[in-house]
């Protein structure tokens, strides 16, 4: 998703909250107190309440946004900036794009996201022949590589 699509899809904080709420409900919310799975939404508290014991779970609880005072829209904008570009996005550039005065919250948010992205990437492994840019990596035999491609850029 590019930044224009993001702005059109999430014009305000309420639309971001609604999106996260739907995602959390689809995945299922488990009560930390009684492990109940039936919850209902409290609009004024922006949290889920367990139907069994009444324990409240914040919309940010259990996510990368947990224990953060930054808005959900700030988090989602940051995720969009980081994932929409092929090149790296520095924390200071992110601070400038978000219009934030302090560097530390942006730095912490950026590194939390990078950690979560790294944990997700560890679950997947590339196998066989992998091509990126103009190089081949993998466990293929020389004969297989020569028969499928030309040397160099293949021109």
CA-to-CA distance for 134 and 7, rounded, in angstroms?
A: 35
Q: State pTM to two decimals.
A: 0.72
What span, in angstroms and rounded, lies between the C-alpha atoms of 49 and 26? 16
pLDDT for the residue 123 = 75
Cα(59)–Cα(40) distance, rounded to whole angstroms?
12
**Average pLDDT by stretches of 10, the chain with 155 residues:** 88 94 92 91 92 92 90 93 83 92 93 86 71 61 54 60
Domain boundaries, given as residue ranges, for the chain: 3-121
pLDDT of residue 14: 94
Question: Residue 130: its pLDDT value, please?
Answer: 64
């Amino acid at each position: 998703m590019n930044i224009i699509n993001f702005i059109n899809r999430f014009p305000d904080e309420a639309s971001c909250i609604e999106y996260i709420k739907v995602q959390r409900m689809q995945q299922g919310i488990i009560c930390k107190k009684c492990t109940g799975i039936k919850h209902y939404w409290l609009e004024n508290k922006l949290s889920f309440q367990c139907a069994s014991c009444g324990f409240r779970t914040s919309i940010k609880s259990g996510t990368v946004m947990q224990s953060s005072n930054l808005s959900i829209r700030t988090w989602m904008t940051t995720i969009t900036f980081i994932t929409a570009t092929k090149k790296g996005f520095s924390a200071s550039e992110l601070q400038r794009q978000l219009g934030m005065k302090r560097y530390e919250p942006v730095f912490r948010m950026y590194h939390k996201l990078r950690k979560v992205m790294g944990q997700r990437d560890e679950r997947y492994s590339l196998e066989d022949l992998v091509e990126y840019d103009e190089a081949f990596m993998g466990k293929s035999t020389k004969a297989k590589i020569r028969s499928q491609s030309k040397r160099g850029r293949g021109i």
